[in-house]
Structure 1
Amino acid sequence: MADSSDEFDPESPEEREVAGEAAGDRTDFLSLMGHAYRGELGRTTAWRTRIDRTTNWAVVLTASLLTWAFSGDSRPHYILLLGVVMVTVFLGIETRRYRVYDIWRSRVRILEENVFANVLDSEGVEQSNWRELLSDDLREPAVKTPIVEAASRRLQRVYFALLSVLLGAWLVRLTVFTGTPAGLIETAAVGRVPGLVVSVAVGLYYTAVVVLTFWPHNRQAKGELQSQPDAEEWR
């Protein structure tokens, strides 16, 4: 029996460029696109699950802290501020995961828009150079969503509500000890840190969160459900 290794030379031009032959054959090309779509969709689903897992942690932590903080008069108010810090950490983790998730989702969307949508209704492709875009991204994968936009989108979806609930509960918790404005600021003290310093820091933090959540910016992430379609092409 002949050794099959003698019949295959991976260094030969024909073997190196074997995939290039599919570019000129419609049947082979569409078959490869189907496999590519399933592969990218699997990656997208895996990273979507990781994002959901972080969100679940943040929701459970928030619910647990609220329950514990209001279960007795002796509970310290700053436990809710610690909750704000932890939720902010989860926001940072989820922002990073969202940016990686968007790499795979962008590829899925470009295939859906330019291949599958055109099969169902052949009005033309969304991007005339979609094959070049996908080829470049496969050769040199890159994060496409800026970190500020990623953080803003996760705040809009989940974390702005969680942080608002925690900070609102913190204010309510302070009123358990005093009902006057002056007393409210004094009660906000944490150890040797004056209540005024704590209140100003919390106010500045929440202002930054509001600005980051609602600040208008040009959308660069592609494929997420939205109320109005974005005309800007994926880059």
Structure 2
Amino acid sequence: MTGSSSKEIDPSDPEHREVGQGLLDEEMGPSGSMAHLYRGEIHRMKLWRERLDRTTNWAVIVLAAILTWAFSSVTNPHYVLLAGGAILGVFLGIEARRYRGYDIWRSRVRTLQKNVFAYGLDPSQGLEDADWRAHLSSSYRQPRLRITRLEAIAHRLRRVYLPLLTVLFGAWVVRVTAFADVPWPDSAAIGQLPGTAVIAIVVLTYGGLLVIAMRPRTWHAEGELLNEDLREE
């Protein structure tokens, strides 16, 4: 006859010590578990940062190629510039998704920096988050995205894509005005679509992106330099 019986485990009993118990309390030195944990998170954050930079680099290369081709000949159609805007939109969507993943690892690094290393350097300032251990443990148990797709898009628009799209749409305006054989707004026409309709679509698209990027909001992304006051008094 076989059976099983449940018995409470005494955590203080060395024979029944739970795996990991006290690991980050007793080994806090430079070569301890906390240091290894921090180095691991820095490495993962760096990899995701490189993925973001790679997308941005491709967006800049595509923009430069489209601008060069569009102005290389007066016979080249102007709507290639608008197609370039659509391509930048695809890059924006990809980069926003990657930024949401990057924020997971960066938030863990910032949690350790603010509540372990900053506190260790100057305990008089207190802890940034009294429940940081529980929050970090929850993130390890079940990693989840912390920010919405719209916030990620707004962040990448502010940092990268709104300036790129401004250059692209500005070049399109120059292309259909100064380099066109027909008067404005007819020069903006695409096939059977009249120029006024094309202009309206471009203005509404750019205005919508501007609203997404610049409207006031509570930022949930874990950041280091979100404000503009970078000079210490």
Q: Flag whether TM exceeds 0.5 (same fold).
A: yes
Q: Is the 8 A contact 1:178 1:184 kept in 2?
A: no
Q: Does the 8 Å CA contact 1:145/1:220 hold for their aligned counterparts? A: yes
Distance across 1 between alignment mates of 2:51 and 2:199: 34
Query: 1: distance between equivalents of 2:135 and 2:37?
Result: 15
Cα shift at 1:63: 1.0
1:9 corresponds to: none
TM-aligned CA deviation for residue 164 of structure 1: 0.5
Match of 2:180 in 1: 177
Deviations 1:59-111 (A, max 9, x none): 11111111111111111100100100000100000000000000000000000
SS across alignment from 2:74: coil
**Structure 1 residue matching 2:118: 3-state secondary structure:** helix
Kindly indicate whether residue 89 of structure 2 is the aligned counterpart of residue 88 of structure 1: yes
Query: Would the alpha carbon gap of residues 76 and 228 (structure 1) be closer, same or farther in structure 2, given more than 3 Å must change?
Result: closer
Q: Structure 1's 174 and 15: CA in aligned 2 closer, same or farther, altered over 3 A?
A: farther
Q: Which residue of 2 aligns with 1:103?
A: 104
CA displacement at 1:178 relative to structure 2: 5.1
TM-score, with normalisation over the residues of structure 1?
A: 0.85
Aligned letter for 1:70?
F
The residue type paired with residue 66 of structure 1 is L
Distance in 2 between residues matched to 1:54 and 1:15, nearest whole Å:
50
* Unmatched runs of 5 consecutive residues or more in structure 1: 1-12, 230-235
Amino acid at match of 2:50: T
In 2, the alpha carbon distance for the partners of 1:90 and 1:225 equals 24
The code of the aligned residue for 1:47 comes to W
CA contact (8 A) 1:37 1:111 kept: yes
Distance 1:15 1:170, change over 3 A: farther
Deviation at 1:197, TM superposition (A): 1.7
Question: Per the alignment, in what secondary structure is the counterpart of residue 19 of structure 1?
Answer: coil
* Counterpart Cα distance in 2 of 1:71 and 1:206: 25
**CA distance 1:15–1:154, change in 2 (3 Å):** farther
1:15-64 residue CA offsets vs partner (Å, 9 max, x unmatched)? 782112425xx332562211111111111000000000000001111111
TM-score normalised per structure 2: 0.86
- Please name the residue that 1:215 is paired with: 215
Counterpart of 2:226 in structure 1 is 226
Distance 1:113 1:88 in 2: 35
Superposed CA RMSD: 1.8
SS of the aligned residue for 1:18 comes to: coil
Closer, same or farther: CA 130–83 of 1 in aligned 2, 3 Å: same
Aligned residues: 212
